[in-house]
Amino acid sequence: MTIPSIVDSHCHLDFPDFDEERDDIVARAVAAGVTRMVTICTRLKNEPAVRAIAEKYAPVYYAAGTHPMQAAEEPLASVDELIALTQHPKMVGIGETGLDYHYTSDSADIQQQSLRIHIAAARETGLPLIIHSRAADEDMARILKQEYKNGAFTCVMHCFSSSPALARAALDLGFYLSMSGIATFPKSHELRAIFAAAPLDRILVETDSPYLAPVPNRGKRNEPAYTAHTAAKGADIMGCDLATFASVTTENFNRLFWKAVG
């Protein structure tokens, strides 16, 4: 049986969970049909290490930014600093950035400031913005709409698990929703309904590994190879066969992450 080619649009291969077997992790992903992976830098001081992983493995690309949960701990990035990083041929996205009020609502102001800086860099470079949003739907929708009026940019709502209202706001701006292993969890009925109502040409798939392993590996360390499980569930959610889901989400990735098309 031919394995459909898919893309893990968001993983964290630099995390220590993978230190002892990174070669095998990448090899297993490729064997599972994952032809490309985007590994995400969440603190700019770690960018050289993340870049080195992308340089070592042909199927791996990377993005860089300051995660909202670290926004108060890290030096505030500048637009010029982010733009300078994009000169590397395998640096394909800005982020992840965003808002997280679940654990770090006390740093909301600096998170919003950081988010706007990342948006400006995405707008300037034409690279996609990678958004993390948790427990901040109203502020997120407001800022994205405000900033889009200041100048268009492209964006993916990574590991989307927010409200129908935020999904609609993002889709109305032409943005993409990324499906993670959460969509496979038995109790994620509302989330599956959000994806089912979205256009297939606006969906990406990801692992967010080492977190959020999909069924049947839930509770274990996640890895890019498991994108295949989420893609299978995604096909079911979207009412199409796996080959179609894999093909269309790959086309979506190529359109959004244009720099990762080689």
Asked, for residue 1, whether it belongs to a domain, the answer is: no
Which range marks the domain in which residue 154 is found?
A: 6-260
Mean pLDDT score, 89-108 = 97
Q: With contact defined as beta carbons under 8 Å apart, do 51 and 88 qualify?
A: yes
Mean pLDDT score, 55-63 = 98
CB < 8 Å & 24+ apart, contacts of 240-248: 240/200, 242/4, 243/4, 245/4, 245/200, 246/4, 246/5, 246/6, 246/33, 247/4, 248/200, 248/201, 248/203
Asked, for residue 66, whether it belongs to a domain, the answer is: yes
> Does the pLDDT of residue 2 top 90, yes or no?
no
Asked, for residue 137, whether it belongs to a domain, the answer is: yes
> Does the pLDDT of residue 1 top 70, yes or no?
no
- 3: pLDDT confidence band, cut at 50, 70 and 90? confident
How many H helices and E strands in the chain? 10, 8
Q: How far apart are CA 259 and CA 5, in angstroms?
A: 18
pTM, two decimal places: 0.97
Asked, for residue 41, whether it belongs to a domain, the answer is: yes
Asked, for residue 62, whether it belongs to a domain, the answer is: yes
Mean pLDDT score, 56-79 = 97
The interaxial angle of helices 164-172 and 189-197, nearest 10 deg, is 20
**Count of structural domains, the chain:** 1
Asked, for residue 112, whether it belongs to a domain, the answer is: yes
CATH of the domain at 18: 3.20.20.140
Q: How far apart are CA 125 and CA 107, in angstroms?
A: 27
> Does the pLDDT of residue 194 top 60, yes or no?
yes
Asked, for residue 76, whether it belongs to a domain, the answer is: yes
Asked, for residue 187, whether it belongs to a domain, the answer is: yes
> Does the pLDDT of residue 112 top 60, yes or no?
yes
- 238: pLDDT confidence band, cut at 50, 70 and 90? very high
Instruction: Say what the alpha-carbon torsion angle 254, 205, 190, 152 is, to the nearest 10 degrees.
Output: -30
